[in-house]
Amino acid sequence: MRRPFHHGNLREVLLEQAEVMLRAEGVDGLSLRELARQAGVSHGAPRSHFIDRQALLDALAERGFDRLTERVVAALRDPGLDRERLRLVGRAYVAFAVENAALMELMFASKSNGPAGPVQEAAGRLFTVLDGGLADSAGDDTRERFKLLFAATVQGTATLIAAQRVTPEQGETLIDDAMEALLTSALGSQVLPGH
């Protein structure tokens, strides 16, 4: 049984290996040729699935957004009060960011393909989920601003932890403080009633 000429699902294998390598070596350590080596194919093979290195990175970022969205959705399913759910979502977001620091860098790198494209769409889906899950009252403007404020806070917390300005333990306190501040603010009291 010789190795089939066609790999079969090279694209998936490459993406998974790339995530492993990304975690181990960071973005810089992610080489197409090494990836091909690990998959047991020739160095040109990845080109059939990713036109260039950036295309691979974009695909990784897209998957990252999808996985983060899943985590957020799971947190939103919690049966607790709105107040508690908000905290859970915040923690889930930050936890994902801590576990996938290099991936998050990719996801929020400004050069992920232009204003449109799959990456931005995946990011959009994340924000849509956050939007729908966090606020079912209040006007659109208030809701939009609350959503952005939430996103900024959790994203900033994640960045501070990744940059080692904050330990993961401090991060827990930080995210709790942040959610508290969010709820106590005027925007919070309009969007999430009952605190």
Partner DNA sequence: CCTAGAATGTAGGCGTTGACTATTTAATAG
Partner DNA sequence: CTATTAAATAGTCAACGCCTACATTCTAGG
Subset of 129-148 contacting its own copies (CB under 8 A): 145, 148
CA 190 to centroid of chain Cα atoms: 27
154 touches its own copies by CB under 8 A: yes
User: What is the spatial distance between Cα 161 and Cα 151, in angstroms, rounded to a whole number?
Assistant: 16
User: What is the spatial distance between Cα 93 and Cα 120, in angstroms, rounded to a whole number?
Assistant: 18
User: What is the spatial distance between Cα 42 and Cα 46, in angstroms, rounded to a whole number?
Assistant: 8
Chosen from DNA, its own copies, none, partner binding at 1 (C-beta under 5 to 8 Å by type): none
8 Å CB contact between 62 and 119: yes
Burial (0-12, 13-18, 19+ Cβ within 10 Å), 72? buried
Residues making contact with DNA (CB under 7 A): 4-8, 10, 30-34, 36, 41-45, 47-49, 51-54
106 touches its own copies by CB under 8 A: no
User: Strand runs (DSSP E) across the chain, as ranges?
Assistant: none
Chosen from its own copies, DNA, none, partner binding at 68 (C-beta under 5 to 8 Å by type): none
Chosen from DNA, its own copies, none, partner binding at 48 (C-beta under 5 to 8 Å by type): DNA
Chosen from DNA, its own copies, none, partner binding at 159 (C-beta under 5 to 8 Å by type): its own copies
Least Å distance, CB 119 to DNA, is 16
Least Å distance, CB 166 to its own copies, is 6
CA 87 to centroid of chain Cα atoms: 17
Among residues 92, 180, 187, the alpha carbon closest in space to that of 149 is found at 187
Residue numbers at the binding site for its own copies (CB under 8 A) = 26, 28, 101-102, 105, 107-112, 115, 120, 123, 127, 145, 148-149, 151-157, 159-160, 162-166, 170, 173-174, 177-178, 180-182, 184-188
